[in-house]
Amino acid sequence: MFKYECLRAGQARAYQDTIHEYTVTSDMPEADVKAQCLKQLGRGVNPDHVSGQHGGACGFPFGLSSFYSFSKLVGSKGKYRFIVVEPYTG
């Protein structure tokens, strides 16, 4: 099982990064869930561009490349948060 819900998608305001945020529910192992997120929801993001500290605004150290954040939701079994950030490029 692999289900997801989109919490937000787009820019909060003009000239800001585009953010896609999902909650994912799955009974698969965590590594498989992450791989499935990258495949189905990753929007072409480089799997090496992972950001553990996602603030939603700055792509440092990835510059103008997209990056993502993947984390398990605390206190829940089989629930994760997956965020993809596409930096604003004008």
pLDDT tens-digit series, residues 61-73: 666 788 899 999 9
The pTM of the full predicted model, rounded to 2 decimals, is: 0.85
**Residue 64: per-residue pLDDT:** 74
What is the domain count for the chain? 1
Q: 32 lies in which domain range?
A: 2-86
CB 72 within 8 A of CB 64: no
Look at residues 11, 64, 61, 69 and name the one whose alpha carbon lies nearest to residue 42: 69
H helix intervals, the chain? 30-41
Check whether 79 has a pLDDT greater than 90. Answer: yes
Cα dihedral: 83, 34, 59, 75 (round 10): 60
Residue written as tokens 């553990």? 52
